[in-house]
Chain A
Amino acid sequence: MLADDIAALLPRMRRFARALTYHREDADDLVQIAMERALGRSEQWEPGTRLDSWLFRIIKNAWIDEVRSRTRRADLFAPAEEGEHVGDDTAQAHQQRLALQKAISLLSEEHRLVVGLVLVDGLPYKEAADVLEIPVGTLTSRLARARDALQQLLADQTDKTRRTP
């Protein structure tokens, strides 16, 4: 049954949505909207094509239609101190994950989409291009620029940490 196949993809949908929205509640709201749309127009899915790509496209469209606000809350609490757990590998890995999620949330929407599809979900270029409805060549150059931007954001974060006493 299609609803079961869709439900099985929920963890990946939530992960992709988190790469787009950063906040857990916003990401789950986005997935809920996408689920409503997907189940409401399930006849539009063509059997034999990839269900995951179809669902990601619905999430992408829902995101573009609906969201794009609500960053204020992220600023209410200052980020926690750096360096508090220096020497603790687990904490450092944790900090790195947070830093990456934060950096991705600062990318342009276009870049977040390609990063979410290719680097977070691991879709092949062709499938990612299919989700975004763009040619593979466009996807490739957009992904390269997104990676550059992400590396730059991460380098900026590292600089800031070093300068903070």
Chain B
Amino acid sequence: MTFSDDTLMAYADGELDPAERAAIETAMQADPAIAAAVARHRALRADVAAAFAGILDEPVPARLQPRTRAPAPASAPAPAPVASLAAAREARQAQDAHATRRRWSWPEWGALAAMLVVGVLAGKLAPGGAAPAIAGSGSQVVAQGELAVALDRQVGGGGHGGSGAGAGAVRIGVSFAARDGRYCRGFAMGSMAGLACRDGDRWRIPVLAEAEPEATGGYRQAGSALPPAVLDAIDARIAGKPLDAAGEAAAKARGWRPAP
């Protein structure tokens, strides 16, 4: 007896009635090809379910909760009704900008942010007590140690470090010339990801953010889960296309000084 693949799929998905199930189970014992087809459908279903299972355990962002459960503080601007994804994104950014402006004037906010970022994040960048990878310099954050070395030396795209792939290893991502001619490089290190831009002999770090944990909670990729803040910073600066391997090598050879 033969069954269509759709029927075997429906069996694997538990969609058949008892009589059909029994017929297929008999056929599976007689014909290994039928058993294999069913196993293939089951395996794909299990794999897909597993790939997304972790999302159920993630905390639900407050902005998604019905308002009656999470009323906005009276002082905060009321969230605008969402009409489109673009509008939602803009509203979120406008709200963030508003919150920043309201609390701090720029210079003091910058200095404070640098201190906080160094204090809070240095530990995440250098797990296990290695030398800190960033340092505060006035109101700016600059790379040092292993991060600075990786930014100076790693070329060739792909971002595999020459220094081994330990938890603290730096992965260099996209490199590009910014609109002002300076070179910038995206990087990920530990659970953090950021953007570093060449400023004289240093790598200044205009943005550093916690990388989005993958479904398992482990951070391993520089690829798919760059924090939106870093992507936005890249979008805002990039002039033209990212450098290819040859472009990176040439920029490195010039000490990452702007092309003449």
Interface residues of A (CB under 8 A from B): 3-4, 6-7, 10-12, 14-15, 18-19, 24-26, 28-33, 35-36, 39, 66-67, 73-74, 76-81, 84-85, 90-91, 93-94, 96-98, 100-102, 104, 115, 118-120, 122, 124-125, 140-141, 143-144, 147, 150-151
Q: Are B52 and A120 in contact (CB under 8 A)?
A: yes
Q: How far is the CA of A26 from the CA of B89 in the complex (A)?
A: 9
Q: Flag whether B66 is at the interface (Cβ < 8 A).
A: yes
A107 to B16, CA, bound (A): 27
In the complex, are the beta carbons of A33 and B49 less than 8 A apart?
no
Q: A94: which B residues are within 8 A, CB to CB?
A: 214, 216, 218, 220
Docked CA distance A140–B228 (Å): 37
- Contact of A29 (CB < 8 Å), options: B41, B88, B221: B88
Q: Is the CB of B56 within 8 A of A11?
A: yes
- Whether B160 contacts A97 by the Cβ 8 Å rule is no
Please tell me if the beta carbons of B214 and A84 are within 8 angstroms of each other in the complex.
no
List residues of chain A with CB within 8 A of the CB of B212: 24
A19: chain B residues at CB < 8 Å are 52
Report which of A28, A76, A101, A115 forms a contact with B64, defined as CB distance below 8 A. A28
Could you tell me the distance in whole angstroms from the C-beta of A47 to the nearest C-beta in chain B? 18
Chain B residues with Cβ under 8 A from A33's Cβ? 82-85, 88
CA distance A80 to B157 in the complex (A): 10
Measured between alpha carbons, how far is A29 from B89 in the docked complex, in Å? 8
The CA-CA distance from A120 to B48 in the complex, in Å, is 6
Distance of A15 from chain B, by nearest CB (Å)? 4
Most A-side CB within 10 Å, residue of B64, B67, B218? B64
B19 CB to nearest A CB, Å:
18
Dominant secondary structure of chain A at its interface with chain B: helix
Q: Complex Cα distance A4/B242, Å? A: 47
| Also in contact, A90 and B231, with CB within 8 A (given A32-B64, A80-B223) | no
- 9 new A-B contacts, CB < 8 A, other than A100-B51, A122-B49, are A3-B66, A25-B228, A36-B81, A36-B82, A80-B220, A81-B160, A94-B218, A118-B13, A120-B52
CA distance A118 to B225 in the complex (A): 25
**Interface-facing stretch out of B3-11, B25-33, B133-141, B197-205:** B3-11
B51 touches A144 (CB 8 A): no
Flag B133-167 by CB within 8 Å of A: 1 or 0 each. 00000000000000000000000011110000100
- CB pair A32–B63 under 8 Å, yes or no, is yes
Closest Cβ of chain B to A124, distance in Å, is 7
| 12 pairs of residues in contact across A and B, judged by CB atoms under 8 Å | A10-B60, A11-B55, A15-B56, A25-B89, A28-B64, A29-B82, A77-B159, A80-B220, A84-B160, A97-B50, A97-B54, A147-B44
Are the CB atoms of B44 and A77 closer together than 8 Å? no
Given contacts A3-B66, A94-B218, contact A102 B224 (CB under 8 A): yes
Q: B178 on the interface (CB 8 Å rule)?
A: no
Question: Which chain A residue shows the least CB distance to B48?
Answer: A119
Cβ contact of B65, chosen from A7, A80, A90, A93, cutoff 8 A: A7
